[in-house]
Structure 1
C-alpha cells in the first residue's frame, strides 16, 4: 500500500503537469502557464494523503497558478534554435540557457506553492485585498491603453517592466495605507523589486542578453527567485526552500531533457527516422509535454519528502516487522476562517483563467471562417462575448452559493471538493484546447497530440477518483517548516552544481552526433553568421 502511495505521489503530478504544459504550449504566456501550475498543485494536494492539505486545495491551486505564471513571460524558442546547430559552444549555451529557464520556472512556482502549506491561514488571508487590487490595477492599465503606451514609450528589450513596476507601486501604496497589509504587500514589493533589480543589473548594467533580439524577462525572473529565496530565509521557512530546490532542479532537467528528445525527433535519429509511425509528428509538442512530465515528477517527489519514514536500527523493521514511524511536515495553522482567498481563488481559477486562455479559440475559428459575420443583426464575435458573460455569471453564482454552503452539487468532504476542482480545471482546459484546434485536426501531428492529451487526461482522472478518505498517512511526529532537518545537505548542492554543466555538455555533444548538418530553424549564438528561422 505504501509503495502504491509513493508511486501516485509522483505519477499524478507528473501527468497533470505534462498535459497542462501541453495546454500551455497552445495558449502561451503567463495565463497559459497558470493551468499546469494549478493542476500540479492540486495533484500534489490529492496524493498527499493529508486532510489538512485537502482542506487547502483551492489555496494550493491558486498559489500554484500564480507561482508558475511568472515563468510564462520568458521566451525560449530561440534558445531551442541554438541547440539545433552544429557548434558545441552554441549547443552547450542553448542547453545551459534552457536549464536556467526551466529552473527559474520550477523554482519560483514551487516556492510560492509551498507558502500554501506552510503559512498560517490568517497570513494567507491578508493577501486577498492586495491581490484583487493589483489585478484590477493591471486590468485598468490594459483596457485604458496605458500598458501599450508605456511599452511604446520605452521597451527596447521587450520585457514586462510595466507589470513589475506597477506591482511595486501598488504594493508600496497599500503597504503605507494599512498596517495589516505590511506582510503581504512587503512580500509582493520585494518580488516586484527583485524583478526590476534583476533586469536592471543583469541586462542594463552587465549587458547580459540570453536570446537577442528576443525579450530578457529571464533576468527579471532571476531577481524574483532570489527575492523569494531571501524572503523564505528571513521566515526560516526551510520546508519551502526545500520544495523550491526540487522545483529548480527538476524544472531545469525537464527543459534540458525535453529539448534533447525534440532534437532527436527533428533530426530523425535512428529508429525515429526508420519507423513510419514516428514520422511527421510535432516533436515540439512532445518536448513541451516532457518538460511538464519531468518537472511535475520533481514537484511530486519534493512533496513526498515531507512525509518520510524514520530510519531504525532494525534492518527488518518496516518489511517483516511493524511499519516504520512516519515524520511529516507540521500541519499549517488554521487560525482564521477560510473566506477571502478561497473565494477569489475560485473566481480566478474558474472564470478569469478560462477567459484569459480560451477567448483565443474564437479568433482561431474566425480565421478558419467558422464564425458568421452576423446573426439577428449582431456580429458573430459579439455573440461569443454574450455567451461568455452568461457562463461567467452562472459560474460566479454557483461559487457564491457554494460560499454560503447552499450548493448541493459540492461534496461535503474536503477531498471531494479537491477532486471536483482538479477535474473541472483539467477537462475545461482539455475540452477548450480541443475545440480551439478543430480547424487543424486534419493534420496528423495535431491529431496525435490531441489524442495524447485525452489519454493523459483519462489517466489523471482514474488516479484522482481512486483517492479515498481512508488513505491517510498517520505521522508519529511532526517537524515544523523552520526545522533545519528540511534543509539540503551541502554535498547535495555541490554535486548538483557540478553535475549540471557536465550534463549540458554531454547532451550537447550527443545532440550534435545525431545529425550531420544544422537542423532547420537553428541559430548561432556565437559567430557572425546565423541560419534562417
Structure 2
C-alpha cells in the first residue's frame, strides 16, 4: 500500500484569506489611525495566517503570533504618509512621491513581517536577545532626529524606522540566522512596498473618473490587500519548509499575548473611537481619565491572573483562533458604527455604558476560550500537563 501524500492546499487559499483579512484591517486602520489602528490590522492579519497554516504547532503559539504581527505593524504606524499620498497627483511630484510611498511601505512591511516571522520561526529567542535593543536604539534615535532642513517633523520618523528596519533585517539574517523570519520580513517589505504606491495611484485615477465613492478608502484597502498577500506567500513558504516552533512551555507569555489580542488592542482602539482621535481630556476631566486608566490596568491584570489560574485549557487552538478573529472583526465593525453615529465622540453616560458592555463582552470571550471540555479532547495551549 502506497503512503498517502499529505494534503497541501494551493497558494490561492493562503492569498485570499490573508489578503481579505488585511484589506479589512487596513481599511479600519484608516478610520482609527496611527499606531493603534495599525495594531488592529496586524492582529487580524496574524489571525488569518494562523487560520490557513497547516502546522498545528504554529497555531499553539497564537498568542506570540498575535503579539509579533500586531506590535510589528504598530511600529510603522508612527510614520506619516498622508501628505505624500495627497501630493501624488500634483505636477512634478509623481516620481518623488511614488518613491517615498514605496520606501515607507517597505519599511512598514519589513518590521511587521519580521515580528510575524519571529513568532512563527523555529529559531529560539532568549531573554538575552533583548540586549540587541540597545544598539538598535542607538541606530534609530539619531536617524529619527535627522531632517534635511534642520526642523523637527513628525515625518522624520521615516528615517529612524528605515535605520531600525535595516538593522532588524540584518540581525535576523546574519546574527540569528532565522531564515523564516528573514523571508517573512522580505516578502512583507515587497508586498507593502508595492501596495502603498499602487493604492495611492488607484486613488488619484479613481477621483479623476468622477465616480462618487471613497477612493481614499479604496487606496487603504489596496495597501492592506497587497500586504496581506505577501503574508500569505510568507506563511505558505514557511509551511512548505516544514518550519515548526518548539512547544510552548510557559503560561505567562501566552497569557500576555492573548490579553493583548483580545483585550488591549480593542480597548485602546475603542477608547480612541469613543472619544474621537484621542480627545480624552476634552471629553472627560483629567482625573477621570487617570481613574479610567487605573481601572483598565487592574482589569487587565485580573484577566491575566484568572487565565493563569485556569491553566489555559481551551477547546483547541483552531477554535480559539476562530473565536479571536470573530471577536476582533465584530468589535471593529462596531467601532465603525459608533464613529459614524457619533462623529464627535461620545459623552457622559453613553460613553460609560459602552465601556461596561465592552468589558462584559470581553469576559464572556475569555470564558469561552478557557471553558473546560471533556477529557481526551482538551488541548493545553501553554504546555501545562492535564
**TM-score, scaled relative to structure 2:** 0.77
Cα deviation 1:388-410 (Å, max 9, x = unaligned): 97787667645433333368xx7
State the shift of 1:262 in Å: 0.4
- Structure 1 distance, partners of 2:337, 2:294, is 21
Give yes or no for contact 1:247–1:299 (8 Å, CA) kept in 2. Answer: yes
Q: Which range moved further: 58-67 or 111-120?
A: 111-120
Equivalent in the alignment of 2:187: 246
Equivalent in the alignment of 2:108: 105
Equivalent in the alignment of 2:19: 14
CA 1:113–1:194 in structure 2 vs 1: closer, same or farther (change >3 Å)?
A: farther
- Structure 2 distance, partners of 1:254, 1:68, is 15
Structure 1: give runs of 5+ residues left out of the alignment: 127-181, 309-327, 374-378, 442-533
State the shift of 1:434 in Å: 2.2
Secondary structure of 2:342 counterpart = helix
Equivalent in the alignment of 2:129: 183
Spell out the pairing of 1:329-368 with structure 2 (5 A cutoff). 329-334=242-247, 337-364=249-276
Asked if 1:195 corresponds to 2:140, the answer is yes
State the shift of 1:102 in Å: 0.6
| Match among 263, 266, 286 for residue 218 of structure 2 | 286
Asked if 1:64 corresponds to 2:5, the answer is no
Cα deviation 1:5-26 (Å, max 9, x = unaligned): 5322111111111111112111
Equivalent in the alignment of 1:418: 321
Equivalent in the alignment of 1:117: 120
- Structure 1 distance, partners of 2:239, 2:56, is 13
Cα deviation 1:367-423 (Å, max 9, x = unaligned): 9xxx9x9xxxxx79999998897787667645433333368xx74211112222222
Asked if 1:47 corresponds to 2:52, the answer is yes
Q: Deviation above 4 Å: which 4+ runs of structure 1? A: 1-5, 211-214, 379-399
State the shift of 1:438 in Å: 1.4
Equivalent in the alignment of 1:523: none
**Structure with more relative contact order (C-alpha pairs < 8 Å, separation 6 or more):** 1
State the shift of 1:252 in Å: 0.7
- Structure 1 distance, partners of 2:10, 2:324, is 21
Name the count of aligned residue pairs. 336
| Match among 259, 264, 268 for residue 200 of structure 2 | 259
Secondary structure of 1:260 counterpart = helix
Equivalent in the alignment of 1:231: 171
CA 1:74–1:387 in structure 2 vs 1: closer, same or farther (change >3 Å)?
A: closer
**TM-score, scaled relative to structure 1:** 0.57
Give yes or no for contact 1:242–1:302 (8 Å, CA) kept in 2. Answer: yes
Equivalent in the alignment of 1:217: 157
Structure 2: give runs of 5+ residues left out of the alignment: 1-5, 345-386
- Structure 2 distance, partners of 1:366, 1:115, is 32
- Structure 1 distance, partners of 2:196, 2:7, is 31
Equivalent in the alignment of 2:99: 96
Cα deviation 1:149-206 (Å, max 9, x = unaligned): xxxxxxxxxxxxxxxxxxxxxxxxxxxxxxxxx322x232233223124335xx35xx
For the pair shown, the structure with the greater C-alpha radius of gyration is: 1
Secondary structure of 1:433 counterpart = helix
Asked if 1:404 corresponds to 2:309, the answer is yes
